[in-house]
Structure 1
C-alpha cells in the first residue's frame, strides 16, 4: 500500500469484523510459512481486550496464535486511537519490522524464562509475521480454581507468587535489557496514559457507551473522575521509584497461571509482561485481579468470606518478610496499585465496543461497575485523608466481600 493510497482512503475507524478477518489471514499465512507440510485449522477466537488471540491446531498439536496491532489494545484500536483502518494496515507493515514489536518482546521473554527455569512458562512454538504461536497449557487456571477451593486461597496465591522468587532477585534484571521490557503493562504507566490531563476527562465521559444504561454511565464517570483525581495525587507520594533493580512478571493475573498437575502441583505461567519494577507490582496485580474474579463470580457470603480472608493472609505473609519500617509503605503502595489496576481493566471493559467479545468475567464486571466504583471511591477517600494503611486495607476487604456477596 502506498502513502498516496492511505491519504485518499475513507477516514473511518477500524471495523471489528475487518480487523478480525485481517488477523486471521495473518495467522493463516504465518502458520503456512512455519509449517508448510502441516495440516492446520483455526479454532475459536479467545475473548480478549488486549491482543487478538485464536486457537489453532497444527496437525494434532493444539496451539494459541496471538497477534498485536501496533502494540496497542484491541479496544484502543477499535475506538480509532490509531486512526482509520487503511492507516493502521499501512503502519502495521512497518511496525512488524521493528525489533521491539510487542510479540517479538513477548517471545523473547518466554524464551528467557524458559532458560532461567523459573517460573515455568508455556513454550514458544513459533514466531512469524508478528504472530506468536505458543503451546497450549492444560489444567485449570488459578481463576478457575479459586471459587472451587476458597479455603485454600492463601495457599494458591502463595504458590503462584512463590514461583517468582528468583525473578524478584536483582541478578535477574541483568538478563532483561531495557529493550526487552514490556513497560506497556505497567500499572502506573497504563493509568497515566489512560487518565492524562488532556484526554483523560473525555475518556471518562465516554465509558460504558456501548455497555451500560445511561444512569449507570453517568455515575460511573462521575465517581471514577473523583477516584482518578485522588490517585494522581497519591501516586507521587506512595509510589516511589524502586531502590533496587528487580524484575516483575508484570502481567500476573489468576487467568495467566495454570495448574496442569492440580492445585498442589507446580504452576505454569502464560503471557508475561516482564519489566523493571518493585515486586509489590506483582503482589498488587495478583490481589487486584483476584478481587475482580471474586466480584465477577459473586459466589455468595461464605465462599466470599473465605476468598477475602485468603487475600488478607496472602498479603500478610508478603509483609512478614519485610522490615517493620517498610510494612506500612508496602501496604499503602499495594493499595494504590490495586485501585489503579482495577480501574485500568474495568475502564477498558467499559470502553470496549459492543462487537468486541469480552471474557465472561469482563461482562459480569461491567454489570457491577457501579457497586465497584462506589467501593473504590470510599477506599481512595480514606487513602487521601491519611487514614492508617491497615485500617484502609481492612475496610477495602470488607467492601470487596460486600460487592462479591
Structure 2
C-alpha cells in the first residue's frame, strides 16, 4: 500500500518518542470518543515492531488497543520510509479515513471470523479514528504449553490448525470482500518487498549495525547468500493465491488456551489473505522453531517438539504421491525459510531505541546461529541430488541450533 510520502533523510526521521507520544494520544482520544462516560487509563505498552499496542483500562474492562501509522511497521516508519515526522502526521490524518486502512481491514476480519465456526478469535470492543480495541484474553499461550508439555506438540499444533479448517476449505476466499484481505502480510510478498528491490543491498549491510553490534559476526553475509538462493527458488514455487484463505499471522505467543490445553484455542491478530493453507503451516513451523531457538530448552524437550513438528508437517502430505510429497515439502521449506528471514531481519534492523518484544530481543542475540541455519537449509534446497531425506536433515540442522 502506498502512502504518497517520500523517505526522509537520516536526520529527519521520526523518533521513537514522537511516535509513541502521538500513538498513545490517539488511543486515549479514541477511547474517550467510544466510551465518553468511562474512565480511561493506559496501563502498559506492549512492545512490538509492527504496530503500537497498549493495554488499556476502560471502566472495569481490560482491553488491548492497537494503532497503525500509515499501515507500515514501526521499524519502517522509524527508518524514514514514510518521510519526516510532519509529513507522517499529515499523511496519517488522511490515512485513518481510508476504508482500506490496515486496522479497518483487521477489524472487519475479526467480525467476519466471529460469525464462522472457526477459528475462535478475540472479540472487537470498538474501533475509532484508526484505533482498534479488542477484549483481553487470559490463559497460557501455545508457546507456554510447548515448553510445559513438549510431548504433546503435535496435539497442540493440531488443535491450532483444526481451528483453521473453515478458512482452508475451497471457496473460503469468497468470505472476504474485494479489498478486505491483508495480502501484504503474505510470506512471499513480504520477502520480495524486503529483498527484491533497489534498496536491498543497503538494507542487508545495515543489519550489522544498531541492534546487532558484534564485530566479525557474518550476519549480513549469511543473509545475502540465503536471499540469493531463496529468490531463485521462488521461481520454482507454484502460485500461492487460490480459493482458500490463510489466517496470515500464526505464532505461538498469539495462540491462547483460555479454557485449558484440551479445549479450543483463541487466535489473535488475523491477517487473512487469499493463499494456500501451506502458508499458515509454514508460518506456524517457522515461528515455533524461532520460539524454541530463543529458549534454553533441554535436549529431551527439543526432540519431542521437533518430532511433533515433523508429525504435523507429514500429516498435511500423507495422502499425496511420493513425487507430490517431495514437491510440497520443498514448497513448505522455502516458505519457512523466507518467513524466518523476514522476522529475523525486521528485528535486526530495528532502531536501537525501539523496545523489542521478548522474542525479538532473543532473536537478535541468536541471529548468527539462526541465519546460519537458513543459509545451510537454503543451500540444501539448491542441491538437486539431495532430495532423499531432506526433511530429516533439516530437523537435524534445527536441533543443532536449538540445543
Matches within 5 A, 1:207-226: 207-216=207-216, 219-226=218-225
- 1:99 is matched with 99
- 1:282-322: CA deviation from partner (whole Å, max 9, x where unpaired): 00000000000010113121111111111111111111244
- 2:90 is matched with 90
Instruction: Say how many residue pairs are matched.
Output: 396
Deviation at 1:256, TM superposition (A): 1.6
Deviation at 1:10, TM superposition (A): 11
| TM-score, scaled relative to structure 1 | 0.95
Deviation at 1:375, TM superposition (A): 1.5
CA distance in structure 1 between the aligned counterparts of 2:113 and 2:386, rounded to whole angstroms: 39
Matches within 5 A, 1:327-338: 327-338=325-336
CA distance in structure 1 between the aligned counterparts of 2:381 and 2:263, rounded to whole angstroms: 38
- 2:39 is matched with 39
Deviation at 1:177, TM superposition (A): 2.2
Q: Pick one of 340, 348, 352 that aligns with 1:354.
A: 352
Assess if the C-alpha contact under 8 Å between 1:216 and 1:370 holds in 2: no
- Mark the CA change 1:231 to 1:76 in structure 2 (over 3 Å): closer, same or farther: same
CA distance in structure 2 between the aligned counterparts of 1:216 and 1:57, rounded to whole angstroms: 46
CA distance in structure 1 between the aligned counterparts of 2:385 and 2:143, rounded to whole angstroms: 32
CA distance in structure 2 between the aligned counterparts of 1:73 and 1:323, rounded to whole angstroms: 41
- Mark the CA change 1:298 to 1:102 in structure 2 (over 3 Å): closer, same or farther: same
CA distance in structure 1 between the aligned counterparts of 2:200 and 2:392, rounded to whole angstroms: 30
- 2:279 is matched with 281
Q: Does residue 246 of structure 2 align to residue 251 of structure 1?
A: no
Deviation at 1:397, TM superposition (A): 1.1
Structure 1 runs, 4 residues or longer, greater than 6 Å off: none
**SS of residue in 1 equivalent to 2:196:** coil
- 1:3 is matched with none
CA distance in structure 1 between the aligned counterparts of 2:388 and 2:331, rounded to whole angstroms: 12
CA distance in structure 2 between the aligned counterparts of 1:204 and 1:246, rounded to whole angstroms: 34
- 1:61 is matched with 61
Deviation at 1:208, TM superposition (A): 3.8
Q: Does residue 182 of structure 2 align to residue 166 of structure 1?
A: no
Deviation at 1:404, TM superposition (A): 1.1
CA distance in structure 2 between the aligned counterparts of 1:322 and 1:143, rounded to whole angstroms: 30
CA distance in structure 1 between the aligned counterparts of 2:189 and 2:21, rounded to whole angstroms: 31
Deviation at 1:262, TM superposition (A): 1.1
| TM-score, scaled relative to structure 2 | 0.95
- Mark the CA change 1:387 to 1:252 in structure 2 (over 3 Å): closer, same or farther: farther
Q: Does residue 265 of structure 2 align to residue 267 of structure 1?
A: yes
Higher percent of residues as helix: 1
**SS of residue in 2 equivalent to 1:297:** coil
Deviation at 1:72, TM superposition (A): 0.3
CA distance in structure 1 between the aligned counterparts of 2:360 and 2:303, rounded to whole angstroms: 22
Assess if the C-alpha contact under 8 Å between 1:251 and 1:273 holds in 2: yes
Assess if the C-alpha contact under 8 Å between 1:140 and 1:258 holds in 2: yes
- Mark the CA change 1:136 to 1:102 in structure 2 (over 3 Å): closer, same or farther: same
Deviation at 1:213, TM superposition (A): 2.5
Deviation at 1:388, TM superposition (A): 4.1
